[in-house]
Amino acid sequence: MFDGIFRRRNLPHIDIEGKPSFVTACLQGSLPAAGLKQIRDYRQELDARSKPHDRSDADWELQKHKLVFKLVDSLLDQQPPVKHLADERLAEIVQDAFLHFAGERYHLFAFVVMPSHHHWVFLPIDDWVDELATGQRHKSNKRTPREVISHSVQSYTGTQCNRLLGKTGSFWQVETFDHCVRDEAELHRIIEYIENNPVVAGLVEHVDQYRWSSARLRKEFGIQRGMPIPKSLM
């Protein structure tokens, strides 16, 4: 079905069947021109490096992607020029979108809605993946479960948030940053990374104090880290 699919636009996108996806989306305009240049220059510098002898081409591409992502996230946590999601009405729209299909289309493991971006990690549910594959059987341009899920959230939240702001045009940056989670240990590291983002950015002192985060929901409803977050918490 969707086993080990690799795509590249401006960013690499890797999908492996049965593995969770860690997705980050940025608001359109949230990275200033100087930051975009810094990212481009860094990516070019990485591409010019020789691949380590002990790594495959795919592993080296993945490592470069992680390094670029780390830079992007640090820039977004500083002083982004666009911070629409600091508006609680908009943050709630995004949070509710994550929860809406939880337990139906995917298992939702963690999320956070930051002022200029969001992070989340989810695993498409097998039955829904099978339905998707059947529906796309005769299509020439098939989309992976991660693409369908992420696009649905981005499209819906972009429309609803623009409506509240009285704006038109792109709300989100066109491409997301995504990473295929390889094992349970990495999943727990990513959950910790996501939920710790508000603390790193100086927005709160403790992870469960941040309103738009799975950490708050897990503490409030007694959900252990690594267990899916249900839709019923909306």
- Give pLDDT, residue 15: 67
35 within a domain of the structure (yes/no): yes
pLDDT at 115 over 90: yes
**Distance from C-alpha of 138 to C-alpha of 49, rounded to nearest angstrom:** 42
104 within a domain of the structure (yes/no): yes
pLDDT at 12 over 70: no
8 within a domain of the structure (yes/no): no
Show the domain range for 116. Answer: 26-233
CATH number at residue 98: 3.30.70.1290
Torsion of CA 68, 21, 197, 69, to 10 degrees: 0
Q: How far is CA 62 from its chain centroid?
A: 16
Using one digit for the tens of pLDDT, what is the confidence trace for 30-64?
876 667 778 788 888 988 898 888 888 878 877 88
Total domains, the chain: 1
63 within a domain of the structure (yes/no): yes
174 within a domain of the structure (yes/no): yes
110 within a domain of the structure (yes/no): yes
5 within a domain of the structure (yes/no): no
